[in-house]
Structure 1
Amino acid sequence: MDISLFQLFILCTTIAVVLGFGIRAARSVHSTKGFSVGGRSAGVPLVAGGIAGTCVGGGATVGTAQLAAVSGLSAWWFTIGSGVGLIIMGLFYARPLRRTALETIPQFLSQHFGLACGVFSSIISSIGILFSAVASCLPAIYIIAAIFGIPFFPATILLILAVAAYAFFGGMKSAGVGGILKMAVIWVTMAIAGIMASHSLFASPAFSAALPEGTFNLLHGDTAHILANFSSVVIGMLCTQSYIQAIFSASNPRTASVAAFTAALISLPVGLPCAMVGIYMHTAHPEITPILSLPVYLLTEQPPLLGGIAMGGIMLSLIGSIAGLSLGIGTMLSRDIFHRARVTLRARKIHKIASQPELQEIDILEIPTANHPWHLSELTVTRLIVLATIALSAFIALVNEGSQVLFWNYLSMALRSGGIFLPLSFAIFLPHTVSHRSATLSMALSTGAALAAVFLGAAGNPLFFGLAVSAICLLPCLLFRRGSGLASD
């Protein structure tokens, strides 16, 4: 992929400016709460920027263009699903979740269904979110390798360093600031690129004649498959820690709801110009590898300045998405597993001191920091988990180079939604209806069903296998409601 020195300079400058603002925002982050939820003081722009900056990543841009080169305009369904999911979140989920003043979805589930349910949901959500991060790592590695003319492995290392600079220091505050800036860049440049690609398609009779039948039909192809993928994205948006975490960072419930609507308006249209570019590149340059359709178009068929800025925006969309998703995993594993383990250890030590009079001179307040094997602060642990997640997702992408970007996105949505969506919805809208045992069993069996569907190659979207099993476990509780006495089991 040829790139001029001027374009490379503009690309790197665009990335550096946005990363610089994010690192600058990180100077005010000194605590775990400040890192994970921005101190709960974020307004609509920061919350919407954090959500849109995470969901508009590899799948919404490069992945949509890649799929459009093969399937046509139906590739737009991914960002349509993201927007619809965020609208539903703003209408029904954002306010009740923000009122809880928590930090993670597993914390919310633990309050309703017990500790075991919370820990299990933290693990399966992290696995699902990891696959979404892989989806953004795939095109990022390809683009870095193509631009700099280097092998995939050093390109992977460069990607890890860039994502770490984006999220490692500032967490949610850096993600929000970076999200606002990158979405401004992507909106303007992708709109121009989409208009120019559309004009090129329809202005040339040769291009128009070469388009396959049904190219611009949103339901072209396997309609059931398209709608299933759409549903998995909508439901996945409602169950993803990275997006809910931005909701938790809002200053109040109303801000959280308005920010979800704003993020929907930002993210939903992005896929259309990217799809048009993919369709054009498949028609005009069928020799181009589909995953590079959008980058090649921006660098070869756009003015150098615009192409350089646009490529910087694309790279930022990938970097920001990986960072936001990794932040969600880091927060869950730190708060819901590491923190709980520390609390348990502290309780055991306090009990030991209380039962042995000769130890009662020990200052109990020193126990959490001085007398346990995990002496690192929770903020440090969260940052290290985020860094480890970034590295793991990048190396999974490296091993699976050549796979479809949206495959990982849809797989991720299915796995993290099948077990979480129904218990989360019951907890919000019908509390005290589902028993602890049923909720935990539902998560375990539905996740197992979704995984089995994936690895056995079952026909149909794995999300619906998971949701079906989850419903079988939970609906009897609804049909035979036993009231708030369920909390006792």
Structure 2
Amino acid sequence: MQSFLYLVVFIVSFFFISLLAVKSSGKVKTGSDFSLANRSLNSAGVSWVIIGTLVGGVSTIGTVQTAYTHGLSAWIFTLGSGISCFLLGCFFAKALREEGVVTVSEYLGNYFGKNFRYYSSAFNSTGMFIHIVGQFLAAMAILQSVFAFSYTTSVFITMALIAVFVVSGGIAGAGTVGKIKFYMLYIIMFISAMVSLYKGGGISEILSRLPQDKNMLSLFSYGTKTAVLDMTSMLVGVLSTQIYLQAIFSAKDVKEARNGAFLSAVIIPPIGILGIIIGLYLRAYFPEVAANSAQAFPFFLNHTFPPLISAFFSAGILLIVLGTGTGLVLGVTTNIYTDFISKISLISDKISALMLLRLCGLFILFLSSCIVFSGLDSTILKWSYMSMGLRGSSIFAGLWVLSFMKSYKNSKLLHFFLYMIPPIYILFNVA
């Protein structure tokens, strides 16, 4: 456990940051407010929602770790995210926003039939759910390292923290979290990168100390085939994930939707570059980190900064992880409610849409915690690489057809192909 002063700073910092994040709770009055912010988001609001969910532990802890082990290829996640957002703004935002739907599955169902709507929604939700469990474990790791909580206590606290963000703010709350995450991310990553350059004697000195037996300045340093597949998964997965597209659906109009996607495309990739600088510095000067490269960034924070600053930064990282988990829960919740529960009139007539959405979100959280408690989480983590692919296999092909080949939308052969992509993808990955 950390020192008493460290714990106090961590708790106070996280409390006040969280207080800012949930301030939008009073604005949520209806189901439309919860799911779509009443379609009122400007371009910045759209970008905050995307950043709040897309940029998380992988963009910080994961990027530093991969930069330490492989170098520049650590940029694939944030670079791929930026390119995806650019493509979203260029080719998909207009059609998605003009359709006036709530879920991407609903959009596809309008053209390929209601059965495909349910089918694609189920796979999309499953892909996001896998990612929720991963965020659970990441947040628990931070809580255990700071407070030495037991496994059970960490699960309950993580569930409670995400529940507060989910229930209070909905999509508007996710946007507020995203805005705060943006500032926290850039403060933490920029200061850390500048300190790395200063302590490392500049980028030239750092590069000269890297291993000469591998090209750590190549985007394909861990294998061209693997890197290309990873980039493709990012491009397809981001363009197929409900919560990112939900930001587009929540925009005030097409212009705001498109500009929000473009703003995200500009903001996200530099975060990866900052993480790479930190990772390369650690690789050059701290070879002992290789024994547990996953702890590279926490090692850097604790080794480089005074305890008070390290505590503040650690509280920020916890918010970053929880924000991503919150956005994913909102995405799954919106899918399940809009595509399935709202169709059951007996339930929807007796309970308000807002209450159903909140209950659905809490159920998703409860189910996630049950998976963690069951001990299946280690297996699910091995399947995490399938998360983006599951979303992409069920959504992306349909989006592509409606954007570029709309004249073929009624083809029975095309419909058969769309149904077959998800099971084929799963078979290839479990074989």
TM-score (norm 1): 0.81
Q: Does the 8 A contact of 1:116 with 1:440 survive in 2?
A: no
Deviation at 1:274, TM superposition (A): 2.3
Aligned residue for 1:191? Answer: 190
Distance 1:206 1:337 in 2: 54
Distance 1:205 1:449 in 2: 48
TM-score (norm 2): 0.91
Distance 1:446 1:271 in 2: 31
Q: 1:245 to 1:393 in 2, by over 3 A?
A: same
Q: Does the 8 A contact of 1:59 with 1:136 survive in 2?
A: no
Distance 1:140 1:8 in 2: 16
Q: Does the 8 A contact of 1:18 with 1:178 survive in 2?
A: no
Deviation at 1:146, TM superposition (A): 1.0
Q: Does the 8 A contact of 1:198 with 1:276 survive in 2?
A: yes
* % identical equivalent positions: 27
1:303-353 superposed Cα distances (whole Å, 9 cap, x missing partner): 3343233222211111010000110110011011111232xx69xxxxxxx
Q: Does the 8 A contact of 2:133 with 2:377 survive in 1?
A: no
Q: Does the 8 A contact of 1:59 with 1:409 survive in 2?
A: no
Aligned residue for 2:268? Answer: 267
Q: 1:128 to 1:402 in 2, by over 3 A?
A: closer
SS at match of 1:419: helix
Distance 1:11 1:100 in 2: 44
Does residue 345 of structure 2 align to residue 378 of structure 1? Answer: no
Q: Given residue 363 of structure 2, which amino acid in structure 1 is its aligned partner?
A: A
Deviation at 1:132, TM superposition (A): 2.3
Deviation at 1:12, TM superposition (A): 2.6
Q: 1:72 to 1:390 in 2, by over 3 A?
A: farther
Q: 1:438 to 1:16 in 2, by over 3 A?
A: farther
Q: 1:252 to 1:385 in 2, by over 3 A?
A: same
RMSD: 2.6
Q: Given residue 310 of structure 1, which amino acid in structure 2 is its aligned partner?
A: F
SS at match of 1:42: coil
1:221-280 superposed Cα distances (whole Å, 9 cap, x missing partner): 211110110111011111110001011111111001111111122221212222333344
Q: Does the 8 A contact of 1:64 with 1:275 survive in 2?
A: yes
Q: Given residue 132 of structure 1, which amino acid in structure 2 is its aligned partner?
A: H
Q: Given residue 89 of structure 2, which amino acid in structure 1 is its aligned partner?
A: G
After TM superposition, the structure 1 stretch with the greater mean CA deviation from structure 2, 105-114 or 64-73, is: 64-73
Structure 2 alignment gaps of length 5 or more: none
Aligned residue for 1:138? Answer: 137
Q: What aligned pairs does 1:35-74 form with structure 2 within 5 A after superposition?
A: 35-74=34-73
Deviation at 1:401, TM superposition (A): 6.3
Greater RCO, 1 or 2 (C-alpha within 8 Å, sep 6+): 2
Aligned residue for 1:230? Answer: 231
Distance 2:2 2:207 in 1: 26
Deviation at 1:140, TM superposition (A): 1.7
Distance 1:202 1:286 in 2: 20
Deviation at 1:385, TM superposition (A): 2.1
Aligned residue for 1:106? Answer: 105
Q: Does the 8 A contact of 1:186 with 1:310 survive in 2?
A: no
Structure 1 alignment gaps of length 5 or more: 347-367, 370-374, 457-489
Match of 2:419 among 419, 438, 444: 444
Deviation at 1:122, TM superposition (A): 0.7
Distance 2:380 2:209 in 1: 27
Deviation at 1:100, TM superposition (A): 1.5
Distance 1:161 1:59 in 2: 22
Q: 1:341 to 1:200 in 2, by over 3 A?
A: same
Does residue 398 of structure 2 align to residue 423 of structure 1? Answer: yes
Q: Does the 8 A contact of 1:202 with 1:208 survive in 2?
A: no
Deviation at 1:432, TM superposition (A): 4.3
